[in-house]
Chains A and B, each alone.
Chain A
Amino acid sequence: MDEIVIQTEGLTKIFGDFTAVDAITFEVRKGEIFGFLGANGAGKTTAMRMLCGLSIPTSGKATIAGFDIYKETESIKKNIGYMSQKFSLYEDLTVLENIRFFGGIYGLSNAEITNKSEALIQQLGLTTVADTLVVDLPLGWKQKLSFSIAIMHQPKIVFLDEPTGGVDPLTRRQFWELIYEAAHQGITVFVTTHYMDEAEYCDRLSIMVDGKIKSLDTPHDLKKQYEADSMDEVFYKIARMAQRT
């Protein structure tokens, strides 16, 4: 349980004269579900994009799955999965075609792809819509599909950027079951969310304010530290410190 898969030190991203992410330092351990909270504009997405190798940091250090964030982005990419805030599978491809495509891109063998896609479609209950264009799926199904595709190649870490935005409570529940399942297989889950009930499901939480990490602990200890009954309250107390809007 002690293997560290994400380690950052003073990671910073500056756009012009705006410091989006301000020297964040933290560690994430293998198999953890790590919640990454913060109000809109606190810098979560920017931080996550840096960790995924989509955005080059202005300064600071970080290693993902043991690889350097500056020099080894392509090696990092082999070991991570990513699900962006904006739905980004191909809407003009069918469910099956999307699965096969990304399987192929991640270098899975044909047999693996066939097995995986069958298993995936079974697991998600998408059998009837396997040949439907993704554009025609309801949002909740799309999100589950996105997630499954993101972990299809058994990455060490999966990054989820507000994966359950706009989804009904039941589907969110099912979604979190998928997350637990993945964590159970040893995949580290790095997730941002606005739902505080979801935050409770995480092993550890960090809360970002104005590009900095204000607090980092288990939900239980955070509540104790801020003398709050719920994560909701913790979040309000911390988010209120924000200077920028």
Chain B
Amino acid sequence: MRTVRFLLYKEFKQIFRNRSIVALIMVMPVMQLLILPWTANYEVKNINVAVVDQDYSTYSQHLQSKISGSNYFNLVSSSNSYDAAYEQIESGAADLILEIPPHFKKDLNKNRFQKLFIAVNAINGTKANLGAAYLQQLIKDYDQDLQIELNTTNRPQAPKKAEITFSNWYNSDLNYKVFMVPGILAILVTMVGGFLSALNIVKEKEVGTIEQINVTPIKKHHFILGKLIPFWILGNVVFTLGLLISWLVYGIVPMGNIFLLYLFIAIYLLAVLGFGLLISTYSETQQQAMFIMFFFMMAFILMGGLFTPIESMPKWAQMLTKLNLVSYLIDVVRMVILKGSGFLDVLPKLLTISFFAVGLNTWAILNYKKTS
């Protein structure tokens, strides 16, 4: 163990001597945490609507004012030319066209049936779908309004209805940032730990110092341990920094036990660092290590449930995420911080991640060869 102490001393000296790296390790996550949650917002609102009104009646006016009064829509133009509206779609000024055909009011009163045309820019499928759904809902409401206006006397009785009350637990304001901040924090800890560890051993290979280490009687697991611990500490520092920002800037206080959070992070970091070191032992240059790491990070993050729910993935992909380290952390951090999940709730994930930690580090030690 005395050897490890010397290794640690050396690693820390090297890390802290490289001011720009230390600054990056500290400043980057802070910046990311301050900016990213504001950008990651799926909420579909501000849908720009171009109305093509060929009827120009009280009915069509009423519909238009309903649109401009809604929270979801901005009425960007109203004309009687479909081509003009289509141009607005092409230029990106409008997302959606609502076309009210000629004689809309007259025909509706006569036939009791009328069509409206909606054209949506559907390049972004999700947004298009929701936009169209909102507009259809709005038209339905409008339809109801008409019924009531015209028909109140005919009705023997008000229609039955179910009143639904919603309770949104854990995030009653439906604030997307509350959801994103813990997830982003998880990603940042992973990135800092993963990349630094992946680059570290390979840097010694590239510079040639690994030769000097390899001719010493140093034990392989001591060497790996010496590499692991500094980044483990750094990872914890970044995580703590992130928790502070979540609290000070976003007012997010962990609902669950903070020690549980740290326990999980502690083991998780071992797993991620082991993975980084493993990549390091497989690479010859820093560029290579970085790229391999980046490849995995990309897959891990995209499939980790940060942006899109894991439940929405196809079954085979859900099976794959069982191998995705990052998905465990994102999940647990959200569970403990937002829902206040307890030790028993996260225990299965804790066990899995411990298994990864042991496996990956053993693999890294075995794959670090002092000889060629």
* Direct contact between the two chains A and B in their complex (CB within 8 A): yes
Q: Report which of A49, A73, A89 forms a contact with B212, defined as CB distance below 8 A.
A: A89
Report yes or no: B217 in contact with A54, Cβ–Cβ below 8 A.
no
Using a CB-CB cutoff of 8 Å, which residues 352-372 of chain B contact chain A? 370-372
Report yes or no: A54 in contact with B215, Cβ–Cβ below 8 A.
yes
Report yes or no: B371 in contact with A101, Cβ–Cβ below 8 A.
no
Q: Which residues of B contact A82 (CB under 8 A)?
A: 211-212, 215
Report yes or no: B10 in contact with A90, Cβ–Cβ below 8 A.
yes
Using a CB-CB cutoff of 8 Å, which residues 60-88 of chain A contact chain B? 73-75, 77-78, 80-82, 84, 86-88
Q: Report which of B14, B210, B212, B217 forms a contact with A92, defined as CB distance below 8 A.
A: B14
Q: Report which of B3, B7, B13, B209 forms a contact with A97, defined as CB distance below 8 A.
A: B13
Q: Which residue of B is nearest A83, CB measured?
A: B212
**A55 in contact (CB, < 8 A):** yes
* Given contact pairs A88-B208, A88-B209, A107-B2, A54 touches B370 in the complex (Cβ within 8 A): yes
Using a CB-CB cutoff of 8 Å, which residues 69-126 of chain A contact chain B? 73-75, 77-78, 80-82, 84, 86-93, 97, 100-102, 104-107
**B106 in contact (CB, < 8 A):** no
Report yes or no: A77 in contact with B217, Cβ–Cβ below 8 A.
yes
Distance (whole angstroms) from the CB of B61 to the closest CB of chain A: 74
Q: Which residues of A contact B117 (CB under 8 A)?
A: none
**A21 in contact (CB, < 8 A):** no
Q: Which residue of B is nearest A98, CB measured?
A: B10
Report yes or no: A105 in contact with B370, Cβ–Cβ below 8 A.
no
Bound complex: CA A80 to CA B212 (Å): 11
Provide the main secondary structure of the chain B interface. Answer: helix
**A234 in contact (CB, < 8 A):** no
Q: Which residue of B is nearest A76, CB measured?
A: B217
**A199 in contact (CB, < 8 A):** no
Distance (whole angstroms) from the CB of B1 to the closest CB of chain A: 11
**A52 in contact (CB, < 8 A):** yes
Bound complex: CA A54 to CA B372 (Å): 6
Q: Which residues of A contact B215 (CB under 8 A)?
A: 52-54, 77, 80-82
Distance (whole angstroms) from the CB of B366 to the closest CB of chain A: 15
**A56 in contact (CB, < 8 A):** yes
**B110 in contact (CB, < 8 A):** no
* Given contact pairs A101-B6, A102-B216, A84 touches B208 in the complex (Cβ within 8 A): yes
Q: Report which of A73, A86, A101 forms a contact with B370, defined as CB distance below 8 A.
A: A73
Q: Which residues of B contact A49 (CB under 8 A)?
A: 372
Q: Report which of A53, A81, A102, A105 forms a contact with B371, defined as CB distance below 8 A.
A: A53
**B140 in contact (CB, < 8 A):** no
Interface centre among B14, B212, B218 (most CB of A within 10 A): B212
Interface size of B in residues (CB-CB distance below 8 Å): 26
Summed over the interface, the residue pairs from A and B with CB atoms below 8 Å come to a total of 81
Q: Which residues of A contact B371 (CB under 8 A)?
A: 53-56, 73
Q: Which residues of B contact A97 (CB under 8 A)?
A: 10, 13
Q: Which residues of B contact A78 (CB under 8 A)?
A: 217
Q: Report which of A56, A87, A93 forms a contact with B14, defined as CB distance below 8 A.
A: A93
**B322 in contact (CB, < 8 A):** no
**B213 in contact (CB, < 8 A):** yes
Interface size of A in residues (CB-CB distance below 8 Å): 32
Using a CB-CB cutoff of 8 Å, which residues 327-372 of chain B contact chain A? 370-372
* Given contact pairs A87-B208, A90-B209, A74 touches B6 in the complex (Cβ within 8 A): no
Q: Which residues of B contact A54 (CB under 8 A)?
A: 211, 214-215, 370-372
Report yes or no: B207 in contact with A88, Cβ–Cβ below 8 A.
yes
Q: Which residues of A contact B5 (CB under 8 A)?
A: 104
Q: Which residues of B contact A91 (CB under 8 A)?
A: 207
Report yes or no: A74 in contact with B217, Cβ–Cβ below 8 A.
yes
Distance (whole angstroms) from the CB of B280 to the closest CB of chain A: 17
Bound complex: CA A80 to CA B216 (Å): 8
Bound complex: CA A84 to CA B212 (Å): 8
Report yes or no: A53 in contact with B370, Cβ–Cβ below 8 A.
yes
Q: Which residues of B contact A87 (CB under 8 A)?
A: 208
Q: Which residue of B is nearest A73, CB measured?
A: B371
Q: Which residue of B is nearest A53, CB measured?
A: B371
Report yes or no: B13 in contact with A93, Cβ–Cβ below 8 A.
yes
Q: Which residues of A contact B216 (CB under 8 A)?
A: 77, 102, 105-106
Report yes or no: B9 in contact with A101, Cβ–Cβ below 8 A.
yes
**B17 in contact (CB, < 8 A):** yes
Report yes or no: B9 in contact with A55, Cβ–Cβ below 8 A.
no
Report yes or no: A104 in contact with B6, Cβ–Cβ below 8 A.
yes
Distance (whole angstroms) from the CB of A72 to the closest CB of chain B: 11
Report yes or no: B2 in contact with A84, Cβ–Cβ below 8 A.
no
**B18 in contact (CB, < 8 A):** yes
Interface centre among A78, A89, A90 (most CB of B within 10 A): A90
Distance (whole angstroms) from the CB of A60 to the closest CB of chain B: 15
Q: Which residues of B contact A75 (CB under 8 A)?
A: 217
Interface centre among B207, B213, B217 (most CB of A within 10 A): B217
Report yes or no: A86 in contact with B372, Cβ–Cβ below 8 A.
no
Residues 228-265 of B, flagged 1 when their CB comes within 8 A of A and 0 if not, give 00000000000000000000000000000000000000
Report yes or no: B10 in contact with A88, Cβ–Cβ below 8 A.
no
Q: Which residue of A is nearest B220, CB measured?
A: A74
Q: Which residue of A is nearest B222, CB measured?
A: A105
Interface centre among A49, A73, A75, A105 (most CB of B within 10 A): A105
Bound complex: CA A86 to CA B217 (Å): 20
18 interchain pairs, CB-CB under 8 A: A52-B215, A53-B214, A53-B370, A54-B211, A54-B215, A54-B372, A75-B217, A77-B215, A84-B211, A84-B212, A86-B211, A88-B212, A89-B212, A92-B18, A93-B17, A101-B9, A106-B216, A107-B3
Please list the 3 inter-chain residue pairs (A to B) with the smallest Cβ-Cβ separation, ordered nearest first: A104-B6, A82-B215, A77-B217
